[in-house]
Every structure is written in structure tokens, then in C-alpha cells.
Amino acid sequence: MPEDQDWYSEATATFGDRLAGAREAVGLTQAQLAKRLGVKAKTLRDWEEDLSEPRANRIQMLSGLLNVSLSWLMTGEGEGIDAPDLGSDMPGDVRAALTELRQVQAEMTRLSGRMARLEKRLRKSLENAP
């Protein structure tokens, strides 16, 4: 699958990545979008950094303000934005490094989820131990 088709997919990007990308695509700063949503700029920053998540009603507002589908914002599938233009004038080695960095980030996200599931299983086992 070409890189531009999976740039914002659930496997390679987080909700925060898609939120930040869509915000930038419409030309809004974090402060401007936060004001339109009626939240603090720090709250929006936390969403973009995946430190917290908005409630469902805010996600719906975000999709409307950013002109992306609710499904795309949540999963990367559906009507959203195109992958960022890495620039045709960008040296090939830099473009390759950015692509590899994106792949490493996706792998780390996958492994982080796996670690959380294992930790949960371990804690449950310890709670049930005599």
C-alpha cells in the first residue's frame, strides 16, 4: 500500500495525529480551534499529544469544524485529509528516514498496546493468586 494511503490509518497514526493533521490542513492554530470548541488550548494540546481524549460530543464537533468524517478522525478510514506532502525537493534519504520513523512509531504504538494487555493480564493473575 502506498505511503499516502496509510499515513493516517489506525495502524500508523493516533487520534491525536489525525486531529493535528486535520487542524493544520484547515489552517487553524491550537488556540483558534480550542476557542471554537469552547475548551482550553491545553486541553486540545493534550488531545493532539494523546494524553487525553475528548468526549463524543466534542469529537463530533471536531469532525464538523475540520471537515473530516467522524470515522476518519477515529480510525483513519473514510473522508479525511491527504497525507502530508513530503516535498519532491526533499532528498530521498530524508524522505526514506521519515517513512522509517513513521513505521517505527506505528510498531511502538502496537507494542505499547501489547504491553498494556500483558500487564493487565498479569495484574489479574496476581489478584487471583492465593
Q: What is the pLDDT of residue 86?
A: 54
List per-block mean pLDDT (blocks of 10 residues) for the chain, which spans 130 residues: 56 83 90 95 94 92 90 84 65 76 72 84 87
Distances (CA, A) of 70 to 3, 4, 9, 42, 60: 22, 20, 14, 22, 6
**Residue 58: CB partners within 8 Å, gap ≥ 6?**
37, 39
Domain 1-84 belongs in CATH node 2.60.40.10:
no
Tens digits of per-residue pLDDT, 84-108?
A: 665 556 777 877 777 777 777 767 7
Q: What is the pLDDT of residue 2?
A: 41
AA letter at 3: E
Q: What is the pLDDT of residue 43?
A: 96
